Amino acid sequence: MPKLQQVYRMDNLHRLFFKAFSNQTRLEIIQMLRRKPLKVTEICEKTGFEQSRVSHNLRCLEHCGFVKVTPNGNFREYALDDETIIPIVDLFEKHIWKYKERLQNCRALKHGKK
C-alpha cells in the first residue's frame, strides 16, 4: 500500500476514534462508566436519556472496543476498557485541567475553524 494511502487510512481511524468522544451522549456515558460499571437502566436513570438512545450508543462503544460487557443475571453490565480507554480518559482529564483556560479561549476551537 502506498505511503500516502497508509497515512490517510490512519488519519481517518484517528478521526473516527475521536468522534466517539465528540458525541455528547457517548461522552456522558464514558464519564459515568469511568466511576464504575453500570447497567443500561442505571445509565438511563442517571442521565434521563431514553433506553434506546443509551443502548444505541453503548453498542457503538462496545463495537469500537471502548466498553466491555459482562452478563449479570438478566442484565448486561458495561464497563470501560481498563487497559486502553481508562488511561486515555485519565490523560484527557489531566490535560483539560492543566490547559483549561487555553482550551476555553482558543478561537479556532470555539468557532470551528480548521
Task: Give tens-digit pLDDT for 39-66.
Answer: 999 999 999 999 999 999 999 999 999 9
**Residue 63, pLDDT score:** 96
CATH class of 3-80: mainly alpha
Question: Is the per-residue pLDDT at 7 higher than 60?
Answer: no
Ordered by start, the domain boundaries in the chain are 3-80
Q: What is the pLDDT of residue 2?
A: 60
Nearest by Cα to 61 from 89, 80, 42, 37: 80
What is the pTM (predicted TM-score) of this model? Answer: 0.83
Distance CA 2, CA 50 (A): 45
Structure confidence at residue 95 (pLDDT) = 96
CB 32 within 8 Å of CB 24: no
Rounded Cα–Cα distance for residues 24 and 7 (Å) = 28
Instruction: Give mean pLDDT, residues 83-111.
Output: 94
Phi, psi of 73 (to 5 degrees): 70, -125
Q: Which amino acid is at 68?
A: K
3-state secondary structure of 67: strand
Local confidence band at 76 (pLDDT 50, 70, 90 cut-offs): very high
